[in-house]
């Protein structure tokens, strides 16, 4: 089950905290998740969302117990008046559902006066109402609000690299690389990977040690040592595990696999990661990678 699934099941059982902060960079996903929680909380069939009258009212934005508070047109903030009207509603019994659900999107747009009013309600929550506060980052909310809520990170689901590769008709290795690029731009990661594969092929074909030194120097030149180490290790593993046809450079991948062997590539990936762990004690990254890559030598 993915995190939102767990969340929806918990909502369905009525076991959610009375105030949730849903945070994440994808604002549409936050809104969709909050509405899914509202459906799970109020569904007449007890599901996590279906076509029952309650769920379809939520879908159409007309459920009397589900209120979405947002920034009005030509305004920048959710006003204290908007919050006050919500608070007086929150004290009432729900019309038809077990609970009233208030979605504030985004919660960091609530005015200072609104926040003060809201805090009192969150301090003494009524059993029949629930608040969902949406925000890019919980840091944008007052600590006093955060401390009264349960924080839940909502991240877009990552499509398996195999699916991405098939859909976009790109090599599997490239799809995997894009997902493990860390702070690197995916394009930058691809260029780096092609350079590394070319150097490794040169080493595999001619035992050209300067190629390994170049790989180490290139990785050490990246701004983020963590990304350098994880990308290099991922490349070595993919060269060991993938069919050369699934890599970004099939003919070079074949040279590397035949010249060095899958097992040695995997061992080297491990050594690179170990070298990466030593970065915490200020080891020179270039030297650490050079040493790790020497695992590629025949014994």
CB of 99 to Zn ion, least distance (A): 14
Q: Report the C-alpha gap between 112 and 201 in whole angstroms.
A: 61
Q: Report the C-alpha gap between 287 and 276 in whole angstroms.
A: 11
- Contact assessment for residue 212 and residue 296, using Cβ atoms and an 8 Å cutoff: yes
User: Between residues 43 and 149, which has the closer beta carbon with respect to Zn ion?
Assistant: 43
For Zn ion, the binding residues (CB under 5 A) are 43, 45, 50, 52, 55
Would you state the structure tokens that stand for residue 147, as one six-digit string? 């401390």
The alpha carbon of 48 is separated from its chain's Cα centroid by a whole number of angstroms, namely 23
Q: Report the C-alpha gap between 276 and 214 in whole angstroms.
A: 18
User: Between residues 58 and 289, which has the closer beta carbon with respect to Zn ion?
Assistant: 58
CB of 55 to Zn ion, least distance (A): 3
Sequence-separated (6 or more) residues with CB below 8 Å from residue 282? none
CB of 63 to Zn ion, least distance (A): 11
- Contact assessment for residue 95 and residue 64, using Cβ atoms and an 8 Å cutoff: yes
Q: Report the C-alpha gap between 90 and 93 in whole angstroms.
A: 8
CB of 5 to Zn ion, least distance (A): 16
Neighbours of 77 (CB within 10 A): 15
Q: Report the C-alpha gap between 31 and 37 in whole angstroms.
A: 10
CB of 260 to Zn ion, least distance (A): 57
CB of 57 to Zn ion, least distance (A): 9
Q: What is the dihedral of CA 107, 111, 113, 116, to 10 degrees?
A: 20
Q: What is the dihedral of CA 45, 46, 50, 56, to 10 degrees?
A: 70
User: Between residues 14 and 187, which has the closer beta carbon with respect to Zn ion?
Assistant: 14
User: Between residues 45 and 163, which has the closer beta carbon with respect to Zn ion?
Assistant: 45
User: Between residues 96 and 243, which has the closer beta carbon with respect to Zn ion?
Assistant: 96
- Contact assessment for residue 239 and residue 197, using Cβ atoms and an 8 Å cutoff: yes
User: Between residues 43 and 285, which has the closer beta carbon with respect to Zn ion?
Assistant: 43
User: Between residues 26 and 50, which has the closer beta carbon with respect to Zn ion?
Assistant: 50
CB of 43 to Zn ion, least distance (A): 3
């Amino acid at each position: 089950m993915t995190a939102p699934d767990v969340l929806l099941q918990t909502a369905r059982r009525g076991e959610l905290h009375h105030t949730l902060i849903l945070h994440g960079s994808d604002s549409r996903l936050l809104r969709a998740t909050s509405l899914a929680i509202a459906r799970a909380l109020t569904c007449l069939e007890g599901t996590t969302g279906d076509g029952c009258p309650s769920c379809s009212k939520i879908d159409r934005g007309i459920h009397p117990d589900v209120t979405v508070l947002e920034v009005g047109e030509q305004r920048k903030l959710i006003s204290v008046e908007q919050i006050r009207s919500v608070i007086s509603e929150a004290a009432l019994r729900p019309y038809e559902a077990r609970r009233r659900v208030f979605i504030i999107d985004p919660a960091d747009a609530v005015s200072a006066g609104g926040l003060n009013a809201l805090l009192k309600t969150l301090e003494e929550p009524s059993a029949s109402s629930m608040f969902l506060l949406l925000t890019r980052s919980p840091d944008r909310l007052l600590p006093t609000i955060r401390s009264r809520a349960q924080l839940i990170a909502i991240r877009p689901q990552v499509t398996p690299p195999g699916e991405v590769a098939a859909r976009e008709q790109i090599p599997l290795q490239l799809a995997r690389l894009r997902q493990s690029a860390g702070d690197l731009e995916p394009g930058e990661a691809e260029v780096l990977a092609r350079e590394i594969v070319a150097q490794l092929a040169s080493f595999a074909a001619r035992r050209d040690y300067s190629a390994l030194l170049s790989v180490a120097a290139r990785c050490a030149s990246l701004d983020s040592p963590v990304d350098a180490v994880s990308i290099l290790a991922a490349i070595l593993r993919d060269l060991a595990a993938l069919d050369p046809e699934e890599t970004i450079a099939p003919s070079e991948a074949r040279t590397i696999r035949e010249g060095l062997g899958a097992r040695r590539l995997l061992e080297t990936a491990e050594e690179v990661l170990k070298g990466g762990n030593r970065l915490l004690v200020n080891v020179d990254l270039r030297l650490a990678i050079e040493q790790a890559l020497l695992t590629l030598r025949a014994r």
